[in-house]
Amino acid sequence: MSEEKFEVEVEAPLYPTESKEAVIRAILNIVPAETEEIKTTEGNPPFLKLKKRGHEALTKIRRLLREERILDTARDMLISSLKRSGVMTLLLHKQAAYVGELRLCSSEDESPLGVIRVKFSFKGDTSLFLDWLAPKTVSGRVPKEVEIHELIGPETS
């Protein structure tokens, strides 16, 4: 039940000059999933799409935001993208994701082969979710990490 609070949707265009395997690798470098979970849509260009539920789907992005030291920028982008429905979006550089790096894009034009669009939704306190995913920093450090149990509640055995 608590896992249904989290949802992440990922989509990336697949251009004729790209290999499908490379775009799948870029997606899997930011969201843990099985290759079979990624679907291809019709269109020009077609898109590769992935939808996952549960906080585990966000573990790679959460870790990469910290490793790349881009928490404040990501937080600002998430807040500026926040919709009334509670959905927030990040645009990621597809080629950087392919090599396992997280580079934020402020527009789709910043990535020559298109961006990876990552939509986050959380059923609950959006500000608490933001504090868990991309907390504010002070002098480049996170003063207090929000623990997952604060978002989903204590585990029951």
Token pair 């849509």 in the structure block, residue: 41
Question: pLDDT grade, residue 41 (50/70/90)?
Answer: very high
Percent of the chain scoring above 90 in pLDDT: 82
The length of the chain, given as a count of residues: 157
Q: What are the structural domains of the chain?
A: 2-138 (3.30.1440.10)
pTM: 0.91
**Rounded Cα distance, 90 and 80, in Å:** 10
- The C-alpha atoms of residue 75 and residue 92 are separated, in whole angstroms, by 14
Mean pLDDT of 35-39: 96
Task: Give, in degrees to the nearest 5, the angle at Cα 69 between 37 and 23.
Answer: 25
Give residue-wise pLDDT tens across range 108-126.
999 989 999 999 999 989 9
Q: Over 50-61, what HEC string results? A: EEEECHHHHHHH
pLDDT tens digits, one per residue of 66-95: 999 999 999 999 999 999 888 999 999 999
The secondary structure of 89-152, three-state, reads EEEEEHHHHHCCCCCEECCHHHCCCCEEEEEEEECCCHHHHHHHHCCCCECCECCCCCCHHHHH
